[in-house]
Structure 1
Amino acid sequence: MSRPRFWDPAGERFGIPTFPWRMAPDSLCTRRQLRARGLRPNGQPVAAQILWRSRKSKDVRAAYLYQPELACPVRPMTPAKWAALAAANRARRTCPGCGRDAGYVLPARYGTCLPCADDIPNAA
């Protein structure tokens, strides 16, 4: 049995330890896995990477791995950050044509709510 294409735990070929999809050690975490634990990388260097070939584009994709023991807790949201996030989401839902809150994120294809898009000729 041959070894997987992206198997390089010593980092000799790729510069940092590299593992194929689903073969990374459990002691390392991706950013998303850190976030699920309420942590952030905190500026630490990348400890390793996972490489795989995308089925759609055939490009080589990468996911970077970090050491959870060097990670710090996520900073809490302040009231100002909550207000800015609410304003940004409200802007994504407000139709520039009629000025109403559509109740959903406006489709980028039309740039307006669906009732206003129906009034535009050749909108589809």
Structure 2
Amino acid sequence: MTASALTSEFLDALGARTCIRVEFYDPTGSRYGFPTFPFRLAPDFLATRRQLRAEGLCPGGYDPVAQILWRHRKQRRVAYLYRRDLARPKRTASPAQLAVIERMLTARRTCGTCGVVRDYYIPRRTGTCLSCETGGRS
């Protein structure tokens, strides 16, 4: 991945034409210490974890190579970017793992007092269903 691959012709031309520096555009990493792009203006060969997950991929153990910075409600937000070409297919759970998960979720819906499996998760604070709670709904 070269520095020229990280530059944006649009943002470079905008800066040259108007002499206005885009706040979160730093493809070389000289200002933020990490290649940085504004919201929605990252190169196509980079993706966030969420974008990789939507494509059925995961970062594959590799560290992020760039970041996206933006402001939201007076806070600076960051999203790390990973290379798509290094991403691997995400792991899938085995049938035994899926069976264990199903049993765990059923246990969360089973009332500790009456033993009925409800269609909602039992509150951990009480450990009983809403019908069995003291003063609960009937």
TM-score interval (norm. to shorter) = 0.7 to 0.9
- Report the CA distance shift for 1:14/1:108 in structure 2 as closer, same or farther (over 3 A): farther
Deviation at 1:109, TM superposition (A): 6.7
2:72 is aligned with 1:75: no
Pick aligned residue for 1:34 from 48, 52, 67:
52
Identify the structure with bigger relative contact order (alpha carbons < 8 Å, sequence gap 6+). Answer: 1
CA distance in 2, matches of 1:97, 1:120: 15
2:112 is aligned with 1:96: yes
2:67 is aligned with 1:43: no
CA distance in 2, matches of 1:59, 1:100: 46
Deviation at 1:92, TM superposition (A): 2.5
Deviation at 1:41, TM superposition (A): 0.7
Deviation at 1:105, TM superposition (A): 2.5
Larger Rg: 2
- Where 1:115 maps in the other structure, the secondary structure is coil
For 1:5-46, what per-residue CA distance to the aligned partner results, in whole angstroms no more than 9, with x for missing partners? 222111112221111221212221111111111111111120
The gaps in structure 2 that reach 5 residues or longer are 1-17
- Where 2:23 maps in the other structure, the secondary structure is coil
Q: How many residues in Structure 1 have an aligned counterpart in Structure 2?
A: 118
Q: Which amino acid aligns with 1:94?
A: T
TM-score (ref. length: structure 2): 0.71
CA distance in 2, matches of 1:21, 1:111: 44
Show the counterpart of 2:13. none
Percent identity, aligned pairs only, is: 53
| RMSD of aligned alpha carbons | 2.3
Detail structure 1 runs of 4+ shifted over 3 Å in the superposition.
1-4, 106-112
CA distance in 1, matches of 2:113, 2:24: 51
The gaps in structure 1 that reach 5 residues or longer are none
